[in-house]
Amino acid sequence: MKLVVATKNAHKIHELSEMLAIDRLTLVSLADVGFTGEIEENGATFAENALIKARAAAKFHRLCRIHQQRTGCRSCEERKR
């Protein structure tokens, strides 16, 4: 199973993977799923910013999945921000 972590930081993905150490779970970054845009972190707390990034990642991934289902395409190039 893959879990998208709302970061582009490869080092952070590596650290989280080591901390969690869950078999059959692969952490992937926003860059790994083709997200190239910027997410404005304008929350008042770290928790609010984390939620903003998680929602943006979920929206992007959902758009990619819809595109793949409709077209059969395996690339999200057209959905990159």
The CA distance from 45 to 70, in Å, is 38
pLDDT surpassing 70 at residue 4: yes
What predicted TM-score, i.e. pTM, was given to this entire model? 0.63
Q: What secondary structure does DSSP assign to 12-76, as a single string? A: HHHHHHHHH--TT-EEE-TGGGT--S------SSHHHHHHHHHHHHHHHHHHHHHHHHHH-----
pLDDT tens digits, 11-54: 999 999 999 988 888 898 888 888 888 999 999 999 999 888 88
